[in-house]
Copies of this chain bind each other. A is one copy, B any other.
Protein backbone atom coordinates (compact mmCIF):
# COMPACT_ATOMS: atom_id res chain seq x y z
CA UNK A 1 0.00 0.00 0.00
CA UNK A 2 1.36 3.38 -1.02
CA UNK A 3 2.23 5.91 1.65
CA UNK A 4 1.58 8.97 -0.51
CA UNK A 5 -2.15 9.50 -1.19
CA UNK A 6 -2.86 11.20 -4.56
CA UNK A 7 -4.41 14.66 -4.38
CA UNK A 8 -7.76 13.38 -5.68
CA UNK A 9 -8.48 9.75 -4.74
CA UNK A 10 -11.94 9.96 -6.38
CA UNK A 11 -10.40 10.71 -9.79
CA UNK A 12 -7.96 7.84 -9.38
CA UNK A 13 -10.69 5.35 -8.41
CA UNK A 14 -12.83 6.59 -11.28
CA UNK A 15 -10.00 5.72 -13.72
CA UNK A 16 -9.47 2.35 -12.05
CA UNK A 17 -13.16 1.43 -12.19
CA UNK A 18 -13.26 2.63 -15.80
CA UNK A 19 -10.49 0.19 -16.66
CA UNK A 20 -12.57 -2.62 -15.07
CA UNK A 21 -15.55 -1.70 -17.26
CA UNK A 22 -13.73 -2.59 -20.46
CA UNK A 23 -12.54 -5.98 -19.32
CA UNK A 24 -13.69 -9.48 -18.62
CA UNK A 25 -13.78 -9.06 -14.84
CA UNK A 26 -17.43 -8.05 -14.86
CA UNK A 27 -20.12 -10.55 -13.91
CA UNK A 28 -22.17 -12.11 -16.74
CA UNK A 29 -24.82 -9.40 -16.34
CA UNK A 30 -22.21 -6.62 -16.30
CA UNK A 31 -22.11 -6.47 -12.50
CA UNK A 32 -19.14 -4.69 -10.89
CA UNK A 33 -17.42 -5.80 -7.68
CA UNK A 34 -19.09 -4.40 -4.54
CA UNK A 35 -18.08 -1.03 -3.10
CA UNK A 36 -16.25 -2.84 -0.29
CA UNK A 37 -14.32 -5.01 -2.74
CA UNK A 38 -13.38 -1.97 -4.82
CA UNK A 39 -12.30 -0.12 -1.69
CA UNK A 40 -10.01 -2.97 -0.62
CA UNK A 41 -8.69 -3.59 -4.09
CA UNK A 42 -7.76 0.04 -4.76
CA UNK A 43 -6.66 0.77 -1.17
CA UNK A 44 -8.96 3.73 -0.79
CA UNK A 45 -11.80 4.71 1.53
CA UNK A 46 -15.33 3.67 0.60
CA UNK A 47 -16.49 7.27 0.37
CA UNK A 48 -14.11 7.82 -2.57
CA UNK A 49 -15.41 4.67 -4.24
CA UNK A 50 -18.96 5.90 -3.78
CA UNK A 51 -18.14 9.33 -5.22
CA UNK A 52 -16.37 7.79 -8.23
CA UNK A 53 -19.41 5.57 -8.87
CA UNK A 54 -21.70 8.60 -8.53
CA UNK A 55 -19.69 10.34 -11.25
CA UNK A 56 -19.75 7.32 -13.53
CA UNK A 57 -23.49 6.95 -12.98
CA UNK A 58 -24.02 10.61 -13.92
CA UNK A 59 -22.00 9.98 -17.08
CA UNK A 60 -24.28 7.07 -17.98
CA UNK A 61 -21.47 4.51 -17.73
CA UNK A 62 -22.82 2.53 -14.77
CA UNK A 63 -26.21 2.18 -13.11
CA UNK A 64 -27.24 0.92 -9.68
CA UNK A 65 -30.08 -1.28 -8.60
CA UNK A 66 -31.11 -1.08 -4.96
CA UNK A 67 -29.81 -4.16 -3.13
CA UNK A 68 -28.37 -5.68 -6.32
CA UNK A 69 -25.22 -3.69 -6.91
CA UNK A 70 -23.64 -1.60 -9.64
CA UNK A 71 -23.74 -2.59 -13.31
CA UNK A 72 -21.90 -1.45 -16.44
CA UNK A 73 -23.93 0.30 -19.14
CA UNK A 74 -27.60 1.26 -18.99
CA UNK A 75 -30.44 -0.54 -17.18
CA UNK A 76 -33.02 -2.53 -19.11
CA UNK A 77 -36.72 -1.96 -18.40
CA UNK A 78 -38.77 -4.47 -16.37
CA UNK A 79 -40.64 -6.35 -19.07
CA UNK A 80 -39.30 -9.73 -17.97
CA UNK A 81 -42.40 -11.90 -17.70
CA UNK A 82 -43.82 -10.79 -21.03
CA UNK A 83 -40.46 -11.13 -22.79
CA UNK A 84 -40.04 -14.65 -21.43
CA UNK A 85 -43.49 -15.55 -22.72
CA UNK A 86 -42.79 -14.19 -26.21
CA UNK A 87 -39.26 -15.56 -26.63
CA UNK A 88 -40.49 -19.06 -27.42
CA UNK A 89 -42.99 -17.78 -29.97
CA UNK A 90 -40.66 -15.61 -32.03
CA UNK A 91 -37.39 -15.91 -33.93
CA UNK A 92 -34.36 -13.83 -34.89
CA UNK A 93 -35.91 -12.66 -38.18
CA UNK A 94 -39.05 -11.31 -36.46
CA UNK A 95 -36.92 -9.49 -33.91
CA UNK A 96 -34.88 -7.88 -36.71
CA UNK A 97 -38.10 -6.79 -38.44
CA UNK A 98 -39.40 -5.33 -35.20
CA UNK A 99 -36.16 -3.46 -34.47
CA UNK A 100 -36.17 -2.04 -38.01
CA UNK A 101 -39.70 -0.81 -37.38
CA UNK A 102 -39.14 0.73 -33.96
CA UNK A 103 -35.52 1.92 -33.64
CA UNK A 104 -35.35 4.35 -36.60
CA UNK A 105 -38.44 6.10 -35.22
CA UNK A 106 -36.91 6.19 -31.72
CA UNK A 107 -33.77 7.77 -33.21
CA UNK A 108 -35.92 10.41 -34.97
CA UNK A 109 -37.77 11.27 -31.74
CA UNK A 110 -34.45 11.27 -29.84
CA UNK A 111 -33.08 13.85 -32.31
CA UNK A 112 -36.03 16.10 -31.47
CA UNK A 113 -35.95 15.62 -27.70
CA UNK A 114 -32.52 14.71 -26.33
CA UNK A 115 -30.68 17.19 -24.14
CA UNK A 116 -27.06 18.24 -24.83
CA UNK A 117 -25.84 16.33 -21.76
CA UNK A 118 -27.55 13.19 -23.04
CA UNK A 119 -25.78 13.52 -26.38
CA UNK A 120 -22.53 13.91 -24.46
CA UNK A 121 -23.29 10.64 -22.65
CA UNK A 122 -23.94 8.91 -25.96
CA UNK A 123 -20.45 9.96 -27.12
CA UNK A 124 -18.89 8.63 -23.92
CA UNK A 125 -20.70 5.30 -24.34
CA UNK A 126 -19.70 5.12 -28.04
CA UNK A 127 -16.05 5.66 -27.00
CA UNK A 128 -16.36 2.83 -24.47
CA UNK A 129 -17.78 0.62 -27.22
CA UNK A 130 -14.89 1.41 -29.52
CA UNK A 131 -12.40 0.53 -26.79
CA UNK A 132 -14.20 -2.66 -25.70
CA UNK A 133 -11.92 -5.63 -26.17
CA UNK A 134 -14.05 -8.75 -25.63
CA UNK A 135 -17.49 -9.88 -26.93
CA UNK A 136 -19.16 -9.40 -23.55
CA UNK A 137 -18.15 -5.76 -23.16
CA UNK A 138 -19.01 -5.04 -26.80
CA UNK A 139 -22.48 -6.43 -26.12
CA UNK A 140 -22.85 -4.32 -22.96
CA UNK A 141 -21.79 -1.02 -24.54
CA UNK A 142 -23.56 -1.56 -27.82
CA UNK A 143 -26.74 -2.33 -25.87
CA UNK A 144 -26.19 0.70 -23.62
CA UNK A 145 -25.91 3.05 -26.61
CA UNK A 146 -29.08 1.83 -28.31
CA UNK A 147 -30.95 1.91 -24.96
CA UNK A 148 -29.78 5.46 -24.26
CA UNK A 149 -31.09 6.62 -27.65
CA UNK A 150 -34.39 4.80 -27.08
CA UNK A 151 -34.82 6.38 -23.65
CA UNK A 152 -34.12 9.91 -24.93
CA UNK A 153 -37.00 9.53 -27.43
CA UNK A 154 -39.29 10.11 -24.41
CA UNK A 155 -42.10 7.88 -25.60
CA UNK A 156 -43.00 5.36 -22.90
CA UNK A 157 -44.94 2.84 -25.03
CA UNK A 158 -42.23 2.73 -27.73
CA UNK A 159 -39.55 2.52 -25.03
CA UNK A 160 -41.38 -0.45 -23.56
CA UNK A 161 -41.61 -2.13 -26.96
CA UNK A 162 -37.86 -1.54 -27.35
CA UNK A 163 -37.18 -2.94 -23.87
CA UNK A 164 -39.18 -6.03 -24.73
CA UNK A 165 -37.04 -6.66 -27.83
CA UNK A 166 -33.97 -5.96 -25.76
CA UNK A 167 -34.91 -8.63 -23.23
CA UNK A 168 -35.76 -11.17 -25.93
CA UNK A 169 -32.35 -10.49 -27.47
CA UNK A 170 -30.66 -11.27 -24.15
CA UNK A 171 -31.29 -14.97 -24.84
CA UNK A 172 -27.78 -16.53 -24.51
CA UNK A 173 -27.99 -18.40 -27.82
CA UNK A 174 -28.74 -15.13 -29.61
CA UNK A 175 -25.97 -13.30 -27.77
CA UNK A 176 -23.52 -15.94 -29.01
CA UNK A 177 -24.89 -15.62 -32.54
CA UNK A 178 -24.41 -11.84 -32.47
CA UNK A 179 -20.84 -12.23 -31.26
CA UNK A 180 -20.12 -14.52 -34.24
CA UNK A 181 -21.89 -12.13 -36.63
CA UNK A 182 -19.85 -9.21 -35.30
CA UNK A 183 -16.63 -10.96 -36.24
CA UNK A 184 -17.87 -10.82 -39.87
CA UNK A 185 -18.55 -7.10 -39.79
CA UNK A 186 -15.96 -4.38 -39.52
CA UNK A 187 -15.76 -2.74 -36.08
CA UNK A 188 -14.71 0.42 -37.89
CA UNK A 189 -17.83 0.50 -40.09
CA UNK A 190 -19.97 0.04 -37.01
CA UNK A 191 -18.15 2.83 -35.14
CA UNK A 192 -18.59 5.18 -38.12
CA UNK A 193 -22.28 4.37 -38.32
CA UNK A 194 -22.72 5.10 -34.62
CA UNK A 195 -20.84 8.40 -35.02
CA UNK A 196 -23.06 9.42 -37.97
CA UNK A 197 -26.12 8.57 -35.90
CA UNK A 198 -25.01 10.60 -32.88
CA UNK A 199 -24.06 13.53 -35.17
CA UNK A 200 -27.58 13.53 -36.63
CA UNK A 201 -29.08 13.44 -33.14
CA UNK A 202 -26.85 16.30 -32.02
CA UNK A 203 -27.86 18.31 -35.13
CA UNK A 204 -31.53 17.70 -34.13
CA UNK A 205 -32.23 16.28 -37.57
CA UNK A 206 -35.00 13.70 -37.17
CA UNK A 207 -34.81 12.52 -40.79
CA UNK A 208 -31.03 12.09 -40.75
CA UNK A 209 -31.19 10.22 -37.43
CA UNK A 210 -33.95 7.93 -38.74
CA UNK A 211 -31.91 7.11 -41.88
CA UNK A 212 -28.68 6.65 -39.94
CA UNK A 213 -30.33 4.15 -37.58
CA UNK A 214 -31.96 2.33 -40.49
CA UNK A 215 -28.62 2.09 -42.33
CA UNK A 216 -26.83 0.90 -39.21
CA UNK A 217 -29.41 -1.81 -38.47
CA UNK A 218 -29.41 -2.89 -42.12
CA UNK A 219 -25.63 -3.41 -42.02
CA UNK A 220 -25.95 -5.38 -38.78
CA UNK A 221 -28.76 -7.55 -40.13
CA UNK A 222 -26.84 -8.47 -43.28
CA UNK A 223 -24.10 -9.86 -41.07
CA UNK A 224 -26.70 -11.63 -38.87
CA UNK A 225 -28.43 -13.15 -41.91
CA UNK A 226 -25.10 -14.45 -43.23
CA UNK A 227 -24.34 -15.90 -39.80
CA UNK A 228 -27.82 -17.49 -39.53
CA UNK A 229 -27.42 -19.01 -43.00
CA UNK A 230 -24.20 -20.72 -41.88
CA UNK A 231 -25.31 -21.60 -38.33
CA UNK A 232 -29.12 -21.72 -38.10
CA UNK A 233 -30.61 -21.33 -34.63
CA UNK A 234 -33.00 -23.97 -33.32
CA UNK A 235 -35.87 -21.47 -33.39
CA UNK A 236 -34.75 -19.49 -36.44
Which residues of A line the B interface, CB within 8 A?
79, 81-82, 86, 89-90, 94-95, 97-98, 101-102, 105, 109, 154-158, 160-161, 164-165, 168
With A97-B155, A160-B164 already in contact, 8 other A-B pairs whose C-beta atoms are closer than 8 Å? A89-B156, A97-B105, A101-B101, A101-B102, A101-B105, A101-B158, A158-B161, A161-B164
B158 touches A86 (CB 8 A): no
Nearest residue, chain B, Cβ from A106:
B101
CA distance A81 to B81 in the complex (A): 10
CA distance A86 to B81 in the complex (A): 15
- In the complex where A82-B82, A101-B102, A105-B101 touch, is A94 in contact with B164 (Cβ < 8 A)? no
Is A156 within 8 A of B102, CB to CB?
A: no
Q: Which residue of B lies closest to A98 (CB)?
A: B157
Residues in chain B near residue A97, CB distance under 8 A: 105, 109, 155, 158
Interface of A is mostly: helix
- Tell me if A157 and B90 are in contact (CB < 8 A): yes
Q: Which residue of B102, B109, B156 contacts A86 across the interface (Cβ within 8 Å)?
A: B156
Closest residue to A108 on the B side, CB-wise?
A: B101
Known interface pairs A89-B156, A156-B90. Does A161 touch B98 (Cβ–Cβ under 8 Å)?
A: yes
CB-defined contacts of A81 to chain B, threshold 8 Å: 81-82
Question: Which residues of chain B come closer than 8 Å to A154, judged between CB atoms?
Answer: 94
A95 touches B164 (CB 8 A): no
17 contacting pairs across A/B (C-beta < 8 A):
A81-B82, A82-B82, A86-B156, A90-B157, A94-B154, A94-B156, A97-B105, A97-B109, A97-B155, A98-B155, A101-B101, A102-B102, A157-B161, A157-B164, A157-B165, A157-B168, A160-B164
A116 to chain B, nearest CB (A): 23
Q: Across chains A and B, which 4 residue pairs bring their CB atoms closest together, nearest first?
A: A161-B161, A90-B156, A98-B157, A101-B105
Which of B89, B98, B156 interacts with A158 by CB under 8 Å? B98
CA gap between A90 and B159 in the complex, in Å: 11
Q: Within the complex, what minimum Cβ distance (angstroms) separates A45 from chain B? A: 38
* Complexed CA–CA distance, A81 and B105 (Å): 25
Nearest chain-B residue to A93 (Cβ)? B155
